[in-house]
Chains A and B, each alone.
Chain A
Amino acid sequence: MANLSLKHIYKVYPNGTKAVNDFNMQIDDKEFIVFVGPSGCGKSTMLRMIAGLEEITAGELRIGDIVVNDMEPKDRDIAMVFQNYALYPHMNIYENIAFGLKMRKLADVKKDKTGKIVTDKNGEPVQVMRHLTKAELDEKVYGAAEILGITDYLRKKPKEMSGGQRQRVALGRAIVREPKVMLLDEPLSNLDAKLRTQMRSEIVKLHNKLQTTFIYVTHDQVEAMTMGTRIVVMKDGYVQQIDTPKNLYQMPANKFVAGFIGTPQMNFFEGTLKKTGEEVEVKFNGSDSVVKIPYGMLVKVMPQYLDGKTNVYIGLRADDVTIDPDEVNGSGTTIKVKISHTEELGTETLVYGDIDMSRDSFGESPTQIILKAAGFKNFSSGDVVDAALKMENVHLFDAQTEESILPRIPKYNYLDCAVKDGALTFAGVKIKLPDAIKCADGEYELLLPTDAIAVGGDVAAEVLSCEQTDGKTLARLNIGGNCMFALIGGEPGQKVGLSLDLKKITLRSDGKDIISPMPLINSVVGTFALDRVKKQIEEGGKLKTKKVSEYSFVMGGRKFKAPLDVAQKMFAALSGRKVFNTAFHYEWSPYDMAISDDGIEGEVTEVLDYGAEQFAKVDAAGSTLYIKTTGPVSGKVHVSPDMSAVSVVEKDRNIRIV
């Protein structure tokens, strides 16, 4: 019955181990969120931080609208189910479930012995905090026991019950308090396989019934896929992807997610892509087979991957490879597979093979392929068959970063363009370049970010299609016969006028950036300081002189008073006096800094005129700052930042604190 907001949450243990790095998420009311990942990925730590059992090193956690970072677990209105049940062994089941209720008091009006409401002298009912009565306890405990089917065991001790029943009691103990958020820490991993499947559906049923927010931690991807409305995949303390089960399966953000979700594991091959006309040639390393697919399937792929030289990972699930002769014959995308062994599962057979004819795939092999065949199939080791690949379901990943190169929202549009006489021409569009962009005439590659395109301007375009992804609307546009992407809305077939934000564009020639986008983050290195200042304070009607603590940022030899909430977060992140001996990056956007009479001393080196906006390039405090200006500026100036809009990053460990 509450939404959660997790912003830049970090967990760093005193010995320096980073358990959770920059966890960001918005959880809506009534969602069933699953944290999944291999052991040691930080999922349980994250859950325990939400529960309040583990301190949050940095970041902000809200339940409902309240920041709960420093709140005791009991005040957060959450309930938790533990992997090992954690029942109170000396109490019977009734007492176990009722314990949490007995600990709490609720506000009520005071009543006398006859049940009449006691009023004060103003006639208002007197408020009292009282414990639940026996009857109320009974009602709640029996209600919860009813839901979980453990009414018959209420007088038993936990040791007399089986694992499944104990876990039910643990669930009962959690739901009886009607918490805002239910936290479940691998609740099923101690149960046997059959019971686990049964409890899985029971927990989902419980979620539907209770209509409250569930956060569920598991290392089992099947549990995650079947239970969660959204899944958070984590690895080594970093969030890999937050998405619905369907999107995780169909559009994994990186190779790890692709391999982690789905059984058998996705097949990965190294290979290259080469664009020739309207087709793309897919080559698999180690195999002679070449597969050709239409370019239309890969429009979102950045052109640098389509040169036929750059190595990429090609991912195909076992379901997307078939050796059914009917499908192989009709398919234009086939590959030769040498079969090594099979695993018969009854309804289907898992066939293990290799696309490299010189290998077998009994051991680990980079060219191993696992595919599914219907029913029982007999193959002998060494058979070579043709397998059809469903290339429309292909996943492509960068060989170095392992990130998907088929992004759902492409970052840039790649276009060829020409600059002549201070005007930029691309896709039949001609735009006058502002003064800030100076470059020699010639042919360039234009990188136009998808978020640099906005509705309202004179660039004519037609919306081809529109899709909703990650809470944003992505439109496919036709500009002068070129396909482009933009983060705008619209109906297919609609004609729109667009404007381009030219400070975000990149012009590239021979792999070198000739024009780079203007940085949108100004970073200044500084420290944090405490001063004891004498101040006159009114206290009890008298003016008193008292010493007050004042915290400030020290940058470029100047002190800026730090807002109290920022100072508190910095203290929370770095305990003790460490905060005063640490260097920080203080960051502002160009819109949150201003040139004024007072502030860090600097010198204007250049004024960038982007037509609609002007920015001053200022050298100050050892960094180059871009600051939005309105009037003309030059020479020596002072820069004053907006202290309420600051972001703070710890310099050495690169941890975002605010």
Chain B
Amino acid sequence: MKKIKIKPQKLFNVAITYLIILAVCFIFLFPILWLVLASFSKTGSIYSFDGFFPTEFSLDSFIRLFTDTDLYNYPRWFLNTLFIALMSSLIGTTLTILTAYVMSRFRFKSRKTMMKMTLILGMFPSFMTMTAVYLMMTQFNLINQQWGLILIYSAGAPMGYLTQKGFFDTIPSSIDEAARIDGASNFIIFIKITLPLAAPMIVYTLLSSFVWPWSDFILPQLLLKNKDLYTVAVGLMSLDDTEFSRFAAGSVFIAVPIVIFYFALSKFLISGLSAGAVKQ
């Protein structure tokens, strides 16, 4: 066997690369690590920590999160959030995919204007509209209603249709045309040809439109006054100062559905599904 010689220059380059990767990882992972450790601390208060990290560990916070529900009903908040996020994700994805498909495949008056408008409007942060949204929701009697939030999230989702439109643009129009000649209507083409090809994009859209309502704080805080309707983010915020480990445990547990959701759908997230359709 030949001995592999490593040049010092190359070794140096690799070392530098790994150093940078480690540094970046540390910056990213340290807060998470800290939070996870805090969630396992025995004492509730942050002031009992020895320096940065807790001294004693136990599963107490997690157990209390689900058993001690008189004052802080975490399971309830969790289900509330799940409901809002799932509904918003489903409705929002439907709207986004439809918007993107229409913008990609159909030519109509003021299409360009609408595309530019959404691009510009999308640049404004969503909380800028807070006052207006609050007033409107009062008018429609949607304060303290989960459907009010779902409405806002799903209606806002199609604003970010550009990624999806870009994807539809890459599906060759000759496939649509072939289907049209084969006798398919626009709706059939969308259902039977475009959607199966767009599966990775639909999964991506489902995930991304799930994450926003799942982790949003501002809108639920603004619109949900009833403690039983709280989402996790609002609920955790309402925790007492002494309940820090419970706060940490709640924050860690909130990641669970996203992880499950991601792994369940990740097999669809492969690219190259459209290979073989047309000669590139």
Contacts and interface: CB of A to CB of B under 8 A. Distances in A.
Interface stretch (B4-12, B95-103, B162-170, B181-189): B181-189
Interface string A614-643: 000000000000000000000000000000
Contacts of B278: 82, 84-87
Interface in B27-75: none
Interface string B181-211: 1111000100011001100000000000000
Interface residues of A, number: 32
B175 interface: yes
A561 interface: no
A239 to B, nearest CB: 25
Contacts of A78: 181
A596 interface: no
A88 interface: yes
B177 A53 contact: yes
Given A88-B175, A90-B196, A103-B188, A74 B181 contact: yes
A103 B279 contact: no
A79 B181 contact: yes
A71 to B, nearest CB: 12
B257 interface: no
Given A157-B276, A158-B276, A158-B277, A88 B193 contact: yes
Contacts of B178: 80, 82, 86-88, 173
A160 interface: yes
Interface in B238-280: 273-279
Interface of B: 172, 174-175, 177-184, 188, 192-193, 196-197, 273-279
B174 A159 contact: no
A442 B175 CA distance: 72
A90 B192 CA distance: 10
A89 interface: yes
A157 B275 CA distance: 10
B188 A89 contact: no
Contacts of B277: 85-89, 158-159
Interface string A76-100: 0011101111111110000000011
A517 interface: no
A89 B274 contact: yes
B214 to A, nearest CB: 30
B177 A99 contact: no
A80 B181 CA distance: 7
Contacts of A73: 177, 180-181
A177 B197 CA distance: 25
Contacts of B188: 103
A163 interface: yes
B179 A88 contact: yes
Interface string A32-60: 00000000000000000001110000000
Chain B binding surface, main DSSP class: helix
A524 to B, nearest CB: 35
B232 to A, nearest CB: 38
Contact of B182 (A74, A85, A161, A190): A74
A111 B165 CA distance: 47
B197 A82 contact: no
Nearest to B272: A159
Nearest to A185: B174
Contacts of B275: 89, 159
A166 interface: yes
A104 interface: yes
B180 A86 contact: no
Contacts of B196: 90
30 contacts: A72-B180, A73-B180, A74-B180, A78-B181, A80-B177, A82-B178, A83-B174, A84-B174, A84-B279, A85-B277, A85-B279, A86-B175, A86-B277, A87-B178, A88-B179, A88-B193, A88-B277, A89-B197, A89-B274, A90-B196, A90-B274, A99-B184, A100-B181, A103-B184, A103-B188, A158-B277, A159-B275, A159-B276, A161-B276, A173-B178
Interface string A97-117: 001100110000000000000
Contacts of A80: 177-178, 181
A380 to B, nearest CB: 46
A154 B152 CA distance: 48
A90 B179 CA distance: 13
